[in-house]
Amino acid sequence: MSDTRITEAARASFDACLAAADEDAAIELAVGLVARGVSAQDVLLHLVAPAQVRVGERWESGEWTVAQEHAATHVSRRTVDEVASAARGTARPPAGGAGARGRVLVACSDGEWHVLPARILTEVLRLHGFDVRSLGGSVSPQGMLSDVHQNGPDVVALSCTLPWNLPLAYRQIEICRWAGVPVIAGGPGFGPAGTWAYALGADLYAADARGAAEALLQRWPPVLRGESSVQADAVEAYATLVRQRPGLLEHLASALRDVCPDLRGRSGTEQEEGTGFLGRLLDSLAAAVFVDDEGVFTRHLAFVRTYLAARSADSRCLLALVDALTDRLHGSPRALDKLAGGRRFLVGQEDDSGRPG
């Protein structure tokens, strides 16, 4: 991008720091850029954020272990802290209180542990003069409720990376709406162009931290305008799936044993990841039912395919799992509808890449 002075070489160096989990060097590099006059926002948005996206990709593709991903993420997070404090050292934005532009509460949706996007948003908004309170990862509805009433933010910025958290995010959005506080949603969990954010009744959506800052600056204070399109039938169907979860999980696990024994025969963490993935599959289906969009489910299927393929596991077993669920969910037309969508997606994919491999 032309609006930044962060070169490819600097990016490559930063990637190397993350790969080596070298906190000191990463901070030295990033803070050095700020000291040389690159804006802290550019460092956060054009150095740290893209590097972190690559971290996710390297984990997804199997290049990195969970441990490496966590170590790298930790370095990114420490870098955000240090860049922010370096920026505060050079130019002091208005502190909290009357001088501040307004009060923003930044929170991750319930169940959401990808905290880095929320951390970056927090700092970017602070750089723009907002008084920001940050609640961190996986904020419970109770925590959200009491914080909103205690601190009375002008707006709540809700971050969601994984779409299966959407039903939980809905509860948080409802809490804010009832308290009269508008919500700006952000993160890939809310779907392409924030479709699912608006479906849940969010008032604003921003694709990234810069977009969020711009949206808030443009129209301050934000007002309640969102309207949820979540249907009562969908919530009921979702609740049924949640109730049936233990039984469905067992059913899926036995289907998996029959069809893809190679996924079960592993030890330790990989097996835990293996069984965790069944839960995610169910949660994604449930979330798709909740927002009434099969895209939530198919997107997850696409991710799992990549993930399994990268670990040389047979991703064709996904189809068997979808069929196993279809067998069990005859009573729920809404779930069947999403499963059919998932099946179409998987079959289509196989046709596309029908080569043996």
Partner 1 sequence: MVQVGRAQGAWAALAGERGRSAFLEEAAQRLGASLHHGRTARTLVEIATPKLADVSVVVLPASGRRTDWYRAGPGDARSSGEVAVELLEEVPEVANALYGLQPRPGVVSAEQLDALDGLLPAELVQGGEPLVAQLAAGGVPAGVLIMLRGPERDRFDDADIELAHRFAVRAGLALATAALYSQQAHTIAVLQDSMAPEPLPSADGLRLGAAYRPAAEALHISGDFYHVAPSPEGGVTFFFGDVSGKGAEAAVLAGHLRQSMRTLAMVAKGSEPLRDLRLLNDLVLSDGHRFATLVTGSACPRDDGSVKVEIAGGGHLSPLALRGDGRVEEIPCEGTLVGAVPDPSFGRTECLLAPGELILFYSDGVTEARGGASGWEIYGDERLVDALASCTDMPAASVAERLELLTTEWLAGRPHDDISLLTLQAPPRRGGEVPPRLPAAAGRCPLGPGAA
- The answer to whether 289 and 338 have CB atoms below 8 angstroms apart is yes
Residue with smaller CB distance to partner 1, 268 or 357: 268
Residue with smaller CB distance to partner 1, 227 or 314: 227
Region from 67-75, 183-191, 306-314, 317-325 binding partner 1, contact rule CB under 8 A: 67-75
CA distance 307 to 295: 18
Figure out which of the listed residues 245, 266, 311, 328 binds partner 1, where binding follows CB under 8 A.
Answer: 245
Closest separation in Å from C-beta 70 to partner 1: 4
Q: Does 137 bind partner 1 (CB under 8 A)?
A: yes
- What part of residues 317-336 is at the interface with partner 1 (CB under 8 A)? none
Q: Does 221 bind partner 1 (CB under 8 A)?
A: yes
Q: Does 74 bind partner 1 (CB under 8 A)?
A: yes
CA dihedral (10, 43, 89, 24) positive or negative = negative
Closest separation in Å from C-beta 259 to partner 1: 19
- The residues, ordered by sequence, that sit 6+ positions from 294 with a Cβ below 8 Å of its Cβ are 288, 337, 338, 340, 341, 342, 345
- Nearest to residue 324, comparing CAs of 243, 251, 274, 249? 251
- The answer to whether 38 and 5 have CB atoms below 8 angstroms apart is yes
Number of CB atoms found within 10 A of residue 125's CB: 25
Residue with smaller CB distance to partner 1, 253 or 336: 253
Q: How many residues of this chain bind partner 1 (CB under 8 A)?
A: 65
Token pair in block for residue 335: 């779930």
Figure out which of the listed residues 7, 90, 229, 231 binds partner 1, where binding follows CB under 8 A.
Answer: 7
Figure out which of the listed residues 42, 88, 145, 328 binds partner 1, where binding follows CB under 8 A.
Answer: 145
DSSP 265: S
- The residues, ordered by sequence, that sit 6+ positions from 347 with a Cβ below 8 Å of its Cβ are 319
Q: Does 217 bind partner 1 (CB under 8 A)?
A: no
Q: How far is CA 80 from the centre of its chain?
A: 18
Token pair in block for residue 72: 């790298």
Q: Which residues bind partner 1 (CB under 8 A)?
A: 6-14, 16-17, 19-23, 25-26, 28-29, 32-33, 36, 65-68, 70-71, 73-74, 98, 110-111, 113, 137-138, 140, 142-143, 145-146, 148-152, 168, 178-181, 219, 221, 223-224, 245-246, 249-250, 268-269, 272, 276, 279
